[in-house]
Structure 1
Amino acid sequence: MTAFSYSVFVRGGPVMWLLVALGVTALVVFVERALFLHRGQIRSTEFLNGIKNLLQKDRLMEALTLCEETPGPVAKLVKAGLRHAQDDEPAMRFAVQEAALAELPVLERRISSLAAIAQIAPLLGLLGTLLGMIQTFWYFNQGGSYATPQALAGGMWEALLTAAAGLVVAIPAHLGRHFLAGRVRALVQDMEWVGNELLRYLSLDHRKDGGRAP
């Protein structure tokens, strides 16, 4: 940060430091969640086809091992279904749904904090604006009829800078929250599709083929 930019930043007052802390927090949360969701996104069709091929060869343990080695909620969903492949269809469906319900909070973890930051940052900016205007009128009142523009400029700087900084933090946080929510929806759709396909295969095709129970 150059001397000029730092001097401008300081004119925003103490609220600017709160906004910086919120901005850093939002950035850390977004990067961590984006990387986590990226690791959990797999090629569901290819993965499920590999599981089916192993089951057709009666290699259930290898299928379970593949689920263990594959990251993401889809693999955990398939693993839950394979562990109950010998049960009837309602029992298998319950196991898959239970695994899905356990994974949803993990996927959505800390995303709500971005929404909170997007809501709080403009309010802090508004607080800084009000404090700056209060300071401006206080200087004006102290100066009486001879208040100089230099004396009044400090409060105006604080009012404008904090309002702008609040929006600078809130807008990316809001966009980041929507981006992460979209990634979560994509993973949930993959989980739903894989769960239905696995149940259909285990309850119909696999048993017709004489697949052995685990």
Structure 2
Amino acid sequence: MRHLLMLAAEGGGEGGMWEAIKHNPTFLIANLVVSAVVVTIIIERTAFQLGRYRVNSKEFFAQVKKLVAAGNIDRAIKLCDASDYPILQLVKAGLTHANKGADEIDAALSEKLSELKPAVEKRIGALWSLANIATLIGLIGTVSGLINTFASIAAQGLSQADKQRMLSNGIAEAMYNTAFGLAIAVVCMIAHVLLHTRSKNIQHDLESTTERVFNLLTISSKPGY
């Protein structure tokens, strides 16, 4: 394969990537669109995870716990209103039902948690599908390029130089389609692993915060606390 790539890059000086794109740009452009979608998802999800979940839930909960222990529920709610970060809103959902029964506190926390969790995982699963799509588009481009190349070479009335040029251009088109598709797939898989792992950690943090808030409010409401 290395020999074929060298032939594609050097054959007549015209077998480079741009020549391949000019010769048959359909599948390379299709994967270029896929790559743009992939980059957009990665940037958006990374910004969402790093921006919306940068609050240290343990430190924040420690502050809330002090206020609740002192009976300052209203001040704890105002602390949550300082930002629209999901963790703060989850804690607020419990605090606003602090004077009600355990069942209502649990229902409020569960409802808020069910609203927040899907947003954490949103669009991450699409990266795996896009990896497969990019690979298949690259494969189709490879097969198409080879078919067109051999069909053209088989035509009558071509000089040896023309056949060599067409062969190098065809191999370049095939190899660039394969390489581009696989490169996109690799980026998608790496990003999926990183973002999915991060999302699972965030979901676990949300669930832990839900339990801590519920325990805090139900235990503190009992006599003797």
d(CA) in 2 for partners of 1:88, 1:94: 10
How far 1:158 moved relative to its partner?
A: 1.1
Partner of 1:108: 121
What does the per-residue CA deviation read over 1:153-184, in whole Å, with 9 as the maximum and x for residues that have no partner? 22211111100000111111111112111111
Question: Normalising by structure 2, what TM-score?
Answer: 0.83
* Identical columns (%): 26
Residue among 89, 92, 102 paired with 1:79: 92
- Counting matched residue pairs gives 207
Residue among 18, 26, 32 paired with 1:14: 26
- Asked whether 1:23 is paired with 2:35, we answer yes
Partner of 1:38: 50
Partner SS for 2:71: coil
Matched AA of 2:25: G
What does the per-residue CA deviation read over 1:89-135, in whole Å, with 9 as the maximum and x for residues that have no partner? 22211211111111112112222232221121001001101111111
Matched AA of 2:142: T
Partner SS for 2:128: helix
**Unaligned runs of at least 5 residues, structure 1:** none
How far 1:12 moved relative to its partner?
A: 6.3
d(CA) in 1 for partners of 2:189, 2:29: 20
d(CA) in 2 for partners of 1:84, 1:143: 84
Partner SS for 2:55: coil
Question: Normalising by structure 1, what TM-score?
Answer: 0.87
Partner SS for 1:85: coil
Partner of 1:151: 166
Contact 2:20 2:169 in 1 (8 A): no
- Are the structure 2 counterparts of residues 61 and 41 from structure 1 closer, same or farther at C-alpha, using a change threshold of 3 Å? same
**Unaligned runs of at least 5 residues, structure 2:** 1-15
d(CA) in 1 for partners of 2:148, 2:113: 54
Partner SS for 2:150: helix
More displaced 10-residue stretch of structure 1: 110-119 or 98-107: 110-119
d(CA) in 2 for partners of 1:6, 1:133: 17
RMSD: 2.2
- Are the structure 2 counterparts of residues 165 and 136 from structure 1 closer, same or farther at C-alpha, using a change threshold of 3 Å? same
Contact 2:17 2:176 in 1 (8 A): no
More displaced 10-residue stretch of structure 1: 38-47 or 58-67: 58-67
More displaced 10-residue stretch of structure 1: 185-194 or 69-78: 69-78
How far 1:11 moved relative to its partner?
A: 5.4
Partner of 2:67: 54
What does the per-residue CA deviation read over 1:44-90, in whole Å, with 9 as the maximum and x for residues that have no partner? 11100111111223222221122122443222211111111122222
d(CA) in 2 for partners of 1:6, 1:65: 59
Partner of 1:178: 193
Contact 2:135 2:181 in 1 (8 A): yes
Structure 1 runs of 4+ aligned residues shifted over 3 Å read 4-12, 143-147, 206-210
Partner of 1:93: 106
Residue among 94, 119, 127 paired with 2:132: 119
- Are the structure 2 counterparts of residues 64 and 70 from structure 1 closer, same or farther at C-alpha, using a change threshold of 3 Å? same
Matched AA of 2:196: A
d(CA) in 1 for partners of 2:64, 2:131: 42
